[in-house]
Chain A
Amino acid sequence: MKNCVAAILMSFFVLPLCVSAKVEVKSWSTENNVSVLYAQVPTLEMVDVYLAFDAGSTRDGTKYGLSNLVSALILQGAGELKVDEFNEAIGLTGGILSSGSNSDMGYIKMRSLTETANLEAVMRLLKLALSSPRFDNSDIDRLVARTLTGIDFKKQSPAAVARDKLYAGLFAAHPYGSPHEGFAESVKSITRGDITNFFKEFYVAKNLNIAIVGAVDLEQAKAMAEDISSILVSGMRADKSVVPPLEKARNDLIKREFPSIQSHIRVGARSVERGHPDYFPLLVANHALGGNSLVSILFRSIREERGLAYSAYSYFSPKSNGGSLVAALQTDRGNQEEALSVLDSSLEKLRLEGFSDRDIASAKDNLMRGFPLRVDTNAEILNYLAMIGFYRLPIDYLETFAENVGRVTRAEASKVFKRYFSPEKLVTVIVGPNLDGDE
């Protein structure tokens, strides 16, 4: 059934939590050295595959938005099948092929019933897309136009404007400082040649990690991974060094006038990549600050105690090349000064006094005991396996997650918070009406 989700209001703003109890993960490399992570879940007659290529917007160069366009174009017809035929063929199998990209990764996901005929048919289409995407000019033109509309659409949203401004402030000229869909001018400058070159360079076996989850046994999973990886040319591993180094972090206040009723406030700092020694302390610190939805420090001080905002939260976003830690809220313009001062003083208090025992115990309890919920669907397990493979995390990441969280002390969480969220590294963004200053 189709549902109008827009008509349903949630009581609280919810950030998607990404993480079962026991997931038995197996890993191996295909003949052409593609690493594969696999978990067998026999209960439902379905299988999911996640192909993660090191082909995110960090690979765009000056053609901002190129990776985004390429990932979308991969499923717009392949081989002899033009876009209409290709999509009809997918539809008839009952399977789903989807693709996308973010700053680090270009990905293709497949979901299928395990019935042999269905699965074979979807696999055939997936391989066709990987080996010979058409990149027809009409499809390129259409997706360029769609991207431009999307860029315009973001200008209607004070939240989207605030997000982009914050990343620009935090990462400046580094690719993380630009929106992954690019800018109007850069997107318009992309040619078919850019697209085919990008595909040839980055959608190669050396750049790929595969994750497979579902009702297929180890032999089947191995055959599927071979089948997929052998269709790709080996290629070259994307060179880390082509990503420009991050400039030095600096304090900044960015104000942007917007004809809205509410002001959107974001305060952020750079953080670390997954696998960094500070990763788990920061994860716990963020959970205590604003990640633990209804009981976090920000939720209590901004919403529960003062009724200043519908959503007041923080998120920790680790990427390949560092990451960010961001606190966010939105409130009526008339409450902006009060909200900002409550936010600032909450942060200042944490820097001076650190987290309380109760804050940390609560954050750790939720993360550790809530772990089974993070891996109770095939879709979630798949995302974890893809993340583990792509970011080269230890294969026992899921198994040791609770242990790693448990080891974080109050002092460590407080220390990393103070270090990463120190005033000279903070970027504050306010997007709203009647702001005194200009950019």
Chain B
Amino acid sequence: MWPHTILSIFITVAIIALPTANASVKEFELSNGLKLIVQEDHRAPVAVVQIWYKVGSAHERRGITGVSHALEHMMFKGTEAYPDGQFSEIVAAKGGRENAFTSSDYTAYYQQWSSENVGLSFELEADRMNNLVFKEEEFLKEINVVLEERRLRTDDNPQGLAREANRALAFQESPYRHPVIGWESDIKGMRLDDLEQWYQQWYAPNNATVVVVGDVSSKAVHKLAQQHFGGLARETVPILRSANERVAQGTKRLIMTSDKVRVPLLLMSYKVPSLGSVSSSDEVDRADVYALDVLAEVLDGDNSARFARHLIRGKSLATYASIGYSPASLLDTLFSISAVPAEGITLDQLEVAITSELLEIIQSPPTQVEMQRVKSQVIASRVYAMDSMESQATIIGQLESVGLDWRLKDEYIGNITKVTANDLVAVVKKYIRQDALATTQLLPESSL
């Protein structure tokens, strides 16, 4: 009896008041098209400054894959005003942290430091947006660094290779088939010229979003932005023609083996829409994206989700099973399952079990308790996310960079809570289809 009583208590408390601490966010646009978004957060005397360029591997083609990422590396090589690592020395000496990241959809640079340095961030970023120096000798060293990075992440990492291969298997025409770091042969064939052209094409104020979160006044930050970025000229930036790919070409399977593999891995990817790939006027498609997001939570949100409860515990078929789905993507993307079988279970058996777990959503749709658990967690996690200025800035930058409005960040909870169990059934029927599936099995060499 007792557990039931306990459970019912928890269910009743699960309806959580929406967080009242709504952040004040201000948006500005300079006359040259640069967008500035400022969220004031006065908890600590620091700020994060990020600059996001709408260019990533999705904008690349075979032959120059990896160019966005290689350019990101070169962006640390100096300008005439700040040559030879001076940028990083300045940031380090003032106690800052800096880094940059490239994805399929964007390239972003950031500094985190005392909020008094926001103007300096702007000065440095405006300078390298326009005045980067391209030196052959620096390029040759850096391309080697990129190759070492590829070896570390992918070539020497069987799981990395399997993930790369699985994306390329799933997508036939979408540029999402290319790895962000680039194919090895493209990195090896890359020339300084490719980087310089890429820079000339995409690095422009009208292709950039600056996000500042921290102990600042949005008015003052706007002024600083005008001062430092205002002088940059608007440029013509190429238009990314739609490269969406949701067509089901049939079931695809790839069996990979490696002498390094000790633990087998199963990857199952289904082609699905994202917030960036659906038209903003298409309410049905957009609702599908939120439903897929909730589906991922029902299956793999926490230790009581269906994967943990059924595959890992109940039937003891998997040691590990998780779902990757990024709604904030530019193009149609993947709903990807990664799983490691339990001892004595083959990847074929695991694949059958995962497929039936997915289809089980149709047979036994999520219960009220399951839906409530997901919603409680989504709501709570929004409050927890406020703990980090960096993650606040990143959510804003990501949404803007894939062509969405940052306000979606605040509408997110509302959109998620509207999703019903029937919506989940509908998206499973629509997208979790055998003919839209790309499976990759990674096995030890001896097993074939």
Contact = CB atoms under 8 A, between A and B. Distances in A.
Contacts of A44: 21, 383, 386-387
Interface in B143-189: 143-149, 151-153, 155-159, 163, 180-181
Given A44-B383, A295-B88, A92 B152 contact: no
A401 interface: no
Given A111-B384, A310-B148, A7 B373 contact: no
A90 B373 CA distance: 9
Contact of A91 (B153, B302, B412): B302
B19 A45 contact: yes
A7 B104 contact: yes
Nearest to A82: B3
Interface in B120-152: 140-149, 151-152
A9 B101 contact: yes
Best-surrounded residue of A2, A75, A142, A367 (most CB of chain B within 10 A): A2
B324 A2 contact: yes
B309 interface: yes
B245 interface: no
Contacts of B261: 156
A43 to B, nearest CB: 5
A410 B152 CA distance: 35
Nearest to A75: B303
Contact of B88 (A14, A120, A294, A368): A294
Interface size class of A (residues with CB under 8 A): 35 or more
B160 to A, nearest CB: 8
B250 to A, nearest CB: 24
A290 to B, nearest CB: 13
Nearest to B103: A8
Contacts, number: 277
A146 B153 CA distance: 24
Contacts of B233: none
Nearest to B322: A2
A81 interface: yes
A41 to B, nearest CB: 7
Interface stretch (B4-12, B200-208, B351-359): B4-12
B387 A262 contact: no
Given A2-B323, A369-B95, A90 B44 contact: no
B389 interface: yes
Contact of A371 (B95, B326, B383): B95
Label chain A's interface by main secondary structure: mixed
A227 interface: no
B410 interface: no
A91 B95 contact: no
Best-surrounded residue of B260, B312, B336 (most CB of chain A within 10 A): B260
B13 interface: yes
A153 B262 contact: yes
Interface string B358-387: 000000000001001100110111011011
Nearest to A361: B93
Nearest to B293: A1
B326 A3 contact: yes
Contact of B17 (A115, A145, A331, A379): A115
Contacts of B44: 20-21, 372, 375-376
A262 B148 contact: yes
Nearest to A21: B45
Contacts of B296: 2
A113 B328 CA distance: 26
Interface in A145-180: 145-146, 148-149, 152-153, 155-158
Contacts of B96: 366, 369-370, 373
Nearest to B342: A145
Interface string A286-315: 000000111100001001111111110000
Contact of A94 (B152, B328, B380): B380
Nearest to A138: B313
Contacts of A153: 262-263
A94 B379 contact: yes
Contacts of A158: 156
B149 A9 contact: yes
B145 A303 contact: yes
A5 to B, nearest CB: 9
A306 B303 CA distance: 46
Interface string B297-328: 10001111100110011001001100111111
B63 interface: no
Contact of A156 (B14, B72, B158, B304): B158
Contacts of B13: 92-93, 117-118, 120-121
A344 interface: no
A346 B201 CA distance: 41
A20 B17 CA distance: 29
Nearest to A310: B149
B92 A91 contact: no
Contacts of A11: 72-73, 76, 99-102
Contact of A261 (B156, B320, B324): B156
Contacts of A304: 85, 141
B97 interface: yes
Contacts of B226: none
A377 B387 contact: yes
B69 interface: yes
A84 interface: yes
Nearest to A295: B92
Given A88-B7, A94-B379, A261-B156, A372 B46 contact: yes
Nearest to B146: A310
Contacts of B259: 259
A89 interface: yes
A209 interface: no
A94 B180 contact: no
Contacts of A366: 92-93, 95-96
A81 B2 CA distance: 9
B16 interface: yes
Contacts of B327: 1-2
A20 B42 CA distance: 12
B283 interface: no
B99 A307 contact: no
A337 interface: no
A14 to B, nearest CB: 6
Interface in B178-224: 180-181
A110 interface: no
A219 B51 CA distance: 43
Contact of B376 (A3, A92, A303, A307): A92
B324 A89 contact: no
B16 A362 contact: no
A232 to B, nearest CB: 21
Contacts of B6: 80-81, 85, 89
Contacts of A362: 89, 92-93
Interface of A: 1-4, 6-12, 14, 17, 20-21, 41, 43-46, 75, 80-85, 87-96, 111, 113, 115, 117-118, 120-121, 138, 142, 145-146, 148-149, 152-153, 155-158, 259-262, 292-295, 300, 303-311, 330-332, 362, 365-373, 375-379
Nearest 4 pairs of A and B residues by beta carbon: A369-B95, A94-B380, A307-B141, A370-B95
16 contacts: A2-B324, A3-B328, A8-B101, A11-B73, A91-B304, A92-B376, A156-B157, A157-B157, A294-B92, A295-B88, A305-B141, A307-B141, A330-B152, A369-B113, A372-B46, A372-B95
Given A307-B144, A369-B93, 20 more contacts: A3-B324, A8-B180, A9-B69, A11-B100, A11-B101, A45-B383, A84-B313, A91-B304, A92-B10, A149-B340, A308-B148, A332-B148, A362-B89, A362-B92, A366-B93, A367-B95, A372-B95, A373-B112, A376-B44, A379-B388
Interface of B: 2-3, 6-7, 9-14, 16-17, 19-21, 43-46, 69, 72-73, 76, 85, 88-89, 91-104, 112-114, 140-149, 151-153, 155-159, 163, 180-181, 259-263, 293, 296-297, 301-305, 308-309, 312-313, 316, 319-320, 323-328, 336, 340, 342-343, 369, 372-373, 376-377, 379-381, 383-384, 386-389, 412
